[in-house]
Amino acid sequence: MPPILDTDHMRRALGLAHAAAARGEVPVGAIVIRGEECLGEGSNSPIGDHDPTAHAEIIALRRAAERVNDYRLAGTTLYVTLEPCIMCAAAIVHARVARVVFGAWDPKAGGAGSVADVFRTPQLNHRVDVFGGVLAEECGQVLQRFFAERRA
């Protein structure tokens, strides 16, 4: 059986982003993987949940932590369709996630280099390997369509 690639996991996250869009939420999806096992997934839901912290990454991290009964998610990779914001990047560091793979860059709120780079803050005690641009065009198009429809 061939190994599952980063693009395969990102496609799963894209499916979650589409689900968020269908609910009227900004279309972002995220999954937490350890090995080949999905520990948690989430899609944006701050509007429906009346919760400013209900970003896809936070929901995926919470579900993964519940599943393994530990707030530390060592050895995991978080896949997310949009560059994490500063809040989510800080949560990823505190959860001890090993890798983040994201799709589209977020020039207005990105915490992985676009606005700030939380992952390279020298004072923080954990380092996360970050890879951006995986299926960037597909991830970006989902967001562009969503906002174009809202403006129309």
149 is catalytic: no
Contacts of 84 (CB under 8 A, 6+ apart): 57, 92, 100, 102, 110, 111, 112, 118
Contacts of 123 (CB under 8 A, 6+ apart): none
Query: Catalytic residue among 25, 41, 57, 83, which?
Result: 57
Maximum CA extent, the chain: 46
Q: For residues 68 and 96, is the Cβ–Cβ distance under 8 A?
A: no
- Residues annotated as catalytic are 57
